[in-house]
Chain A
């Protein structure tokens, strides 16, 4: 069975500061890892995903995440926060080479302080 833990249900950072959203996973097989973002009243949008290969993955809107097998982590970062980054962020894991049966974390709400 897989599971995802997102540390911190709410994170606040100042505009221009580093954004760090934490995600740890549990999987019995090599995982496929995803970060999704949800803006108010909108569907989840894929930010980035890790399947195989390079462990540092770059996504949209300047976000990136690094797969660290030894730490079973897939933390999401952005060097400089923008007001438009305020949203809910979900980490997810799949044990398939497709995107079926995603297991989601509980989400982290990111607030940007002007």
Chain B
């Protein structure tokens, strides 16, 4: 299996622009997670989907952030409009089954820079 696939690997955009990050989970996995990593806050959960349904979005910072999972093999995280403080590495992860009793695997991350 190719693992969790994220695109793009790097994104540089200007403040105010829309940014879309993409994730393809491991085939057969039905839980998907978006995390953000910054120096100040470490790795923090943004949103968690199970069977394509958002279960917990309490970590989404504000209305500028939105996430979708239209099918079992694809998810997007969108930031509109982007701001410099959104600069971070965004990770997508997936697991087979609920988080409590399965191992999660992470993609290589998208490094976002907003200038």
- Mutual binders A and B: no
List B residues at the A interface (Cβ < 8 Å): none
